[in-house]
């Protein structure tokens, strides 16, 4: 799930990435174009209700591919992404439009 809020005269989009509690996770992070697909650069925090959340400032006016990494080895798409884009490994990435 995504939540978006624009700041800095619309130049920055503060995106909140939310992984639902239905995904049973001991750890979670978000990786994508914005962090060079680093598995460790953007860890998510688990909330009391079991969901995972992280906020990232992204440049407005872009389409940014991303995926969730769960338990260090399971890749998940966002069920509520703005859209999806094919990747070279035969699947799709989630896309946030800022």
For residue 86, give every residue at least 6 positions away whose Cβ sits within 8 Å of its Cβ, in sequence order, or none. Answer: 92, 93
What is the per-residue pLDDT for 34?
A: 96
Q: What is the pLDDT of residues 14-71, one digit of tens each?
A: 999 999 999 889 999 999 999 999 999 999 999 999 999 999 999 999 999 999 999 9
Domains of the chain: which residue ranges?
2-97
Q: Which residue has the tokens 């890749």?
A: 75
The domain 2-97 having CATH identifier 3.65.10.10: the answer here is: no
Nearest CA to 84 among 75, 70, 96? 96
Band of residue 88 on the pLDDT scale cut at 50, 70, 90: confident
CA dihedral for 79, 46, 29, 64, sign (positive or negative)? positive
pLDDT for res 39: 96
Dist. CA 57–CA 16, nearest whole Å: 9
């Amino acid at each position: 799930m995504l939540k978006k809020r624009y700041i800095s005269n619309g130049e920055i989009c503060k995106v909140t990435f939310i992984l639902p509690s239905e995904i049973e996770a001991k750890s979670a992070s978000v990786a994508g174009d914005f962090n060079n697909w680093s598995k460790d650069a953007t860890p998510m925090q688990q909330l009391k209700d079991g969901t995972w959340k992280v906020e990232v400032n992204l440049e407005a006016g872009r389409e940014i591919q991303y995926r969730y990494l769960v338990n260090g080895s399971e890749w998940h798409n966002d069920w509520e992404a703005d859209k999806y884009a094919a990747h070279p490994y035969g699947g799709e990435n989630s896309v946030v439009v800022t």
